[in-house]
Amino acid sequence: NFRHQYHYIYRDRKPIFLNPLNECGVVKFVCTTIQPTMLSFSSLFQWSSAAEFIADHLNYELLEPAHEIPKTLWSPTKVLADQRGNCFDYSNLLCSLLIGAGYDAYVASGYATREVCYMDTTRLPNPYVKKRPEEHIERSKTQNKKYTVKPPKDLTSKYDVYMHQRRLDQIQADKDRLQEEENKRIAEIEKPLPDPLFGIRVHSWVLVLAGKREVPEAFFIEPTTGYAKATNDSEYLGIESVWNHQNLWVNMQDCSNGCESLQFDLNDQARWEFMFTYSTNLRGTVTTTLNTLSGSAMLDEEEEKPTVEATQKNIELPPSWVCPLNITAKDFEKRYPNSRKTYFYKKTRVEKYAPYNMKDGIVLKVAEFADYDFKELIYVTQRYDHRHDKLELREHDVRTNMVYEHYLPGRTDHLKGK
């Protein structure tokens, strides 16, 4: 079979993630675990909204051990019911929604850095940063008059001007040098520690190819965070295989430089080895590399069989064994596990709440800190929904103790806030 042939030819590569156990302990092929579904919520029709929802809706569980593929793959219905899963569960569920929405999406199995595998976002910039409110002072505009008094003659010494500018340049050079030293110190602090498992940490994410839904070029989606990533992102170190609900492809390209040089034309037999011929545009005309190599290793009894006839057979996968996916309006509105979720970014803690869950109507709280240990609080931003007083946003500058409040239209006193 495919697994034995693959292992026989490529002994130095890890086993392919083909047929793990489901939540009931039954062996299932990975392609049949995807259930393409288009839900009734219009916001999930876009990949960005769907990815953000999956990242918010589930609790992340690490792979154990981190360097081996998991033995189980839960169905998307089980993942939705428990609101938890590992990276493969995240990718499988997100891929089901994206394919249902019309995207050319695939689950990718490969390797990534420790930060990606641990969903460590503490080195990422704050995605909710915004320009601080400032006092706007209108400056009086100078009016050009027809008759103006000429300014007095400038008697400043050119030498004094030169020396003054020289001192300013020296001060600026010292500031630039100190800033460069500070940047180096910060970069050293933020530099991740050496990873003994670098390059072999197993991870799964979603690959979206160009073409459908007007996608201009292929890109990755990190399902644990919902962020889009370029296909040459340095945090993704290699791909073993990709699959959707119709077929599975094994990557035959060199990943010594990560995913930077990978080509994602799945019809290219030299770069991607497919498992079933019916899902490609070249079925019945091309014998795959794996089949050719494995055929040469067979005995005379294999040579007697017509290989062309075998390649012309269209193998149809059984339908997905997964029950149709469904998210109730209540669960969609709750969004987060226990109606709340906390994220950590670079010097920032973000707390998200479901609407109507908190008494004060808060739905988002962004706390910014001056240190990496989240102890010295400097700024707090709170966003509200469905408040009777129309309060929409409150910002608190802890250092100056200034509070800025923004209100929606509709108050009886017509207060807008600042």
- Which of 18-22, 37-41, 291-295 is the least confident region? 291-295
pLDDT at 274 over 60: yes
Higher pLDDT pick, 309 / 112: 112
Q: How many CB atoms lie within 10 A of CB 154?
A: 6
Q: How many other C-beta atoms can be found within 10 angstroms of the C-beta atom of residue 102? A: 15
Average pLDDT over residues 267-272: 90
- The answer on pLDDT for 143 being more than 80 is no
Cβ–Cβ < 8 Å for 396, 383? no
CATH for 2-123+196-312, options being 1.10.3720.10, 3.10.20.30, 3.10.620.30, 3.30.360.10:
3.10.620.30
pLDDT recorded at residue 308:
41
290: confidence class by pLDDT, cuts 50, 70, 90? very low
3-state DSSP call for residue 392?
Answer: strand
pLDDT of the residue at 299: 33
pLDDT (mean) for 25-54: 93
Q: At residue 241, does pLDDT exceed 60? A: yes
Whether the per-residue pLDDT at 243 is higher than 80: the answer is: yes
What's the confidence (pLDDT) of residue 223? Answer: 96
Which pLDDT belongs to residue 385? 93
**CA 342 – CA 174 distance, rounded (Å):** 41
Per the model's pLDDT, the better-predicted residue between 327 and 276 turns out to be: 327
Radius of gyration of the chain (CA): 29
Query: For 39-53, 78-92, 311-325, 403-417, which range has the lowest pLDDT when averaged over its residues?
Result: 311-325
Average pLDDT over residues 292-307: 40
pLDDT value of residue 295: 42
What ranges do the domains of the chain cover?
2-123+196-312, 329-407
CA dihedral 333, 338, 339, 342 (to 10 degrees): -130
Residue range 122-129: mean pLDDT, rounded? 85
Beta strand 105-112 with 248-251 is unpaired
Residue 63 has pLDDT above 60, yes or no: yes
Q: Which of 34-48, 300-314, 389-403 has the lowest mean pLDDT?
A: 300-314
When pLDDT is averaged across residues 1-27 and rounded to a whole number, the result is 85
Distance CA(405)–CA(82), nearest Å, equals 38
pLDDT at 4: 80
210 pLDDT above the threshold of 80: yes
pLDDT at 134: 53
Q: Are 110 and 237 contacting, i.e. CB atoms less than 8 angstroms apart?
A: yes
Weakest-pLDDT range from 214-218, 286-290, 381-385: 286-290
Mean pLDDT of the chain: 85
Q: Which whole number is the average pLDDT over 393-414?
A: 89
pLDDT at 169 over 70: yes
Averaged pLDDT for residues 364-393: 92
pLDDT at position 32 is 94
